[in-house]
Amino acid sequence: MAVAIGVAGYLGLNPPGFAAGTVALAFGLAASSIFPALMMGIFSKNINKEGAIAGMIAGIGITLFYVFQHKGILFIADWKYLESWGSNWFLGIEPNAFGAIGALFNFIVAYAVSKVTAETPQEVKDLVEHVRVPVGAGSAQDH
């Protein structure tokens, strides 16, 4: 345990900014994969599992493509590709912030795939409706 703490502490300080960059990248990957599926799962009755899965794959795929293009495949600098396109070639967005674009792709693909595949089962739609209303909620009160 002490060795793991020591290694984590070393990597947190050397090189400077490594920890912050890693956390930003992790949030970007979460934003491009999980966030849209959660939002559509709560607020849309028409997104099915095929759409959610395809959206998650598209979102994280496009984000990893952009990140690996800048930082190298599996973060090995010698394995960079598309270097001729230049740094931050997509609207000047840095790789650590590209999760928002990946999330947009996720939303679009999930919606499109859900439109062309089987409709969401009624029990899933009922579950979504049940999640929206808190248990034991009464009528609105005038204060």
Could you state, in order of their start, the residue ranges of all structural domains in the chain?
36-132
pTM over 0.75: no
pLDDT at residue 86 in the model:
66
Query: Residues in the chain with pLDDT < 70?
Result: 74-89, 136-138, 140
Please give the Cα distance from 55 to 113 (Å, whole number): 8
In the block, which residue shows the tokens 């062309």? 116
In the block, which residue shows the tokens 């795939």? 113
Instruction: Count CB atoms within 10 A of the CB of residue 45.
Output: 17
CA dist 110 → 14, 19, 59, 64 (Å): 40, 32, 10, 18
pLDDT at residue 83 in the model:
65
pLDDT at residue 128 in the model:
79
Token duo for residue 109: 């693909």
pLDDT at residue 41 in the model:
83
For 50-78, the DSSP string reads HHHHHHHHHHHHHHHHHHHHHH-GGG-GG
